[in-house]
């Protein structure tokens, strides 16, 4: 299985984002959490910062949009040239139309679900997506505890992806660390977001390598 480690810059020093990205050279992608204080009770960064990161990041950007009115905004974020744009099912009126727009613009299309949202209704739409994100914390904040009770949902998604034969990535986000990554890998995740576990480490690049080894076991 190909393992992807995707550090979340939510746990990085926001005054020095370019050099913080320099600390994670062993990563596959850079996870960027966009929050609007409406869909989630927190505010992080928006288009101008994403545009600037897009210019300086040697790694592809994986945007996680925790914002309302995803139908309108997800394509605008894709226009920045981001490699991947993930929007929440709960925030979109038409998930298929939005995913198609993202792909037309040239971004990978990701669909995220909060812990309380069922994934099953979306599994028949797999051909429309390049990635599913199963949240393992309530979206909004870094540093929360991993919700192991999401593993059955992740396993169902993993079985559906295998059955489809499609190359849809399965991402987990929230509370991923050296203590939890194996549980998520076992349940079928292949793409792992880690914020505090990576940026909180003195040697962030080494920590990524360790996480990758644990997930690949
Ligand atoms: C939470 C964000 C996550 C967060 C993860 O809403 O979507 O990406 O940064 O942080 P950790 O890894 O610290 O749980
Ligand atoms: Zn995230």
Average pLDDT over residues 38-54: 98
Q: Any binding-site annotation on 88? A: no
Q: pLDDT band at 99, cuts 50/70/90?
A: very high
Check whether 8 is labelled as a binding-site residue: yes
Average pLDDT score, the chain: 98
Query: Can you give the pLDDT at residue 1?
Result: 75
pTM over 0.80: yes
Could you tell me if the CB of 143 is within 6 A of ligand 1?
A: yes
How far apart, in whole angstroms, are the C-alpha atoms of residue 187 and residue 132?
14
- Residue 176 beta carbon below 6 angstroms from any ligand 1 atom: yes
Atom of ligand 1 nearest to the CA of 10: 9
Q: Which residues 6+ apart lie within 8 Å of 151 measured at CB?
A: 183, 184, 186, 187
Domains of the chain, first to last: 4-216 (3.20.20.70)
pLDDT 10s digits, 63-88: 999 999 999 999 999 999 999 999 99
- Please give the structure tokens belonging to residue 142: 């870094």
pLDDT in tens, 140-184: 999 999 999 999 999 999 999 999 999 999 999 999 999 999 999
Taking only the tens place, the pLDDT of each residue in 177-192 is 999 999 999 999 999 9
* Percent over 70 (pLDDT), the chain: 100
Backbone angles phi, psi at 147, to 5 degrees: -95, 95
For ligand 1, say whether the CB of 42 is within 6 Å of any of its atoms.
no
ipTM: 0.99
Torsion 9-12-18-20 (CA) sign: negative
Q: Is 174 annotated as a binding residue?
A: yes
Cβ–Cβ < 8 Å for 119, 130? no
Tell me what pLDDT residue 217 has.
85
| 39 CA distance to ligand 2 middle (Å) | 13
- Give the position, in ligand 1's atom list, of the atom nearest the Cα of 42: 6
């Amino acid at each position: 299985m190909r393992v992807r480690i995707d550090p979340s810059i939510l746990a990085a020093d926001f005054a020095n984002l370019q050099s913080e990205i320099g600390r994670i050279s062993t990563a596959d992608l850079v996870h960027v959490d966009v929050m609007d204080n409406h869909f989630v009770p927190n505010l992080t960064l928006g288009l101008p910062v994403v545009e600037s990161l897009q210019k300086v990041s040697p790694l592809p950007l994986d945007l996680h949009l925790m914002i309302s009115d995803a139908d309108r905004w997800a394509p605008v974020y894709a226009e920045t040239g981001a490699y991947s744009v993930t929007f929440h099912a709960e925030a979109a009126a038409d998930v298929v139309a939005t995913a198609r727009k993202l792909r037309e613009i040239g971004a990978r299309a990701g669909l995220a679900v909060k812990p309380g949202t069922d994934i099953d209704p979306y599994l028949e739409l797999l051909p429309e997506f390049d990635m599913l994100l199963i949240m393992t914390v309530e979206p909004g904040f870094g540093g929360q505890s991993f919700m192991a009770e999401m593993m059955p949902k992740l396993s169902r998604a993993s079985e559906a992806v295998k059955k489809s034969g499609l190359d849809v990535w399965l991402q987990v986000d929230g509370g991923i660390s050296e203590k939890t990554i194996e549980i998520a890998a076992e349940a079928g995740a292949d793409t792992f977001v880690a914020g505090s576990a990576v940026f909180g480490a003195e040697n962030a690049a080494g920590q990524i390598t360790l996480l990758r080894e644990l997930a690949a076991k």
